[in-house]
Amino acid sequence: MCRERVVEEETPARLQGYANEYCGMNAVPMLTKSEDKAMYFLENRHLESLLTEVVYAVWSAENYDRAFLFYERDVLRVARGVHGLQVGVDNARIVIEAAPFPEEAILDRRDAPGILFLQRRYFVRSDFPRIRAFVEGQQGGTSELMAIVDEMAI
């Protein structure tokens, strides 16, 4: 009889929560379902058991809809179970020829708008033009980000 050995890998500190320099707050990264599926190669059935935050998504100036956000640390845990630990997640990225994970500095800039919008129970995608400009470093720092949030999250 063979016993299954359970291995628990450590979750990166960044996903547990960190002080985000752009918004001056503690950040715990969250992703939408489509981001989860694209980054970690999961299906809807893999995400069903995870807790979600329900917020209003900003799609355009007067177009709001509900969005379901997942904690990235929980998604990583599920992905490791599906693909076979972190090495399986990394191998899946290679097989599917996915883009590598962004650098820490880009991730910090990606998380900052999400944190500030989430405080107001809103969500805006990182590919939204003004948010993308901030994430890619084309548009200033904290004061510019606060102006974007104040303008969009009415």
Cβ atoms 17, 26 nearer than 8 A? yes
Average pLDDT in the chain: 81
Q: Which two tokens stand for residue 114?
A: 């999400």
What pLDDT, on a 0 to 100 scale, did the predictor assign at position 63? 63
Write the pLDDT tens digit of every residue in 88-144: 888 888 888 777 777 777 778 888 888 888 888 888 877 788 888 888 876 677 778
| Residue 61 pLDDT level (bands cut at 50, 70, 90) | low
In CATH terms, the fold of domain 25-152 is: Nucleotide Excision Repair Protein XPA (XPA-MBD); B Chain A (3.90.530)
Q: Which two tokens stand for residue 133?
A: 């400009």
With a cut of 90, say whether residue 6 has pLDDT above it: no
Strand boundaries in 8-152, DSSP class E? 18-20, 25-27, 30-32, 52-60, 63-71, 122-123
Closest to 19 (Cα-Cα) out of 115, 120, 121, 127:
115
What pLDDT, on a 0 to 100 scale, did the predictor assign at position 133? 84
What pLDDT, on a 0 to 100 scale, did the predictor assign at position 25? 80
CA 37 to chain centre: 11
Beta bridge partners, 122, equal 56
| Residue 7 pLDDT level (bands cut at 50, 70, 90) | low
Q: How far apart are the first and last CA of the chain?
A: 61
pTM tops 0.85? no
What pLDDT, on a 0 to 100 scale, did the predictor assign at position 71? 92
User: Rounded CA gap, 10 and 1, in Å?
Assistant: 29
Q: Which two tokens stand for residue 48?
A: 């069903």
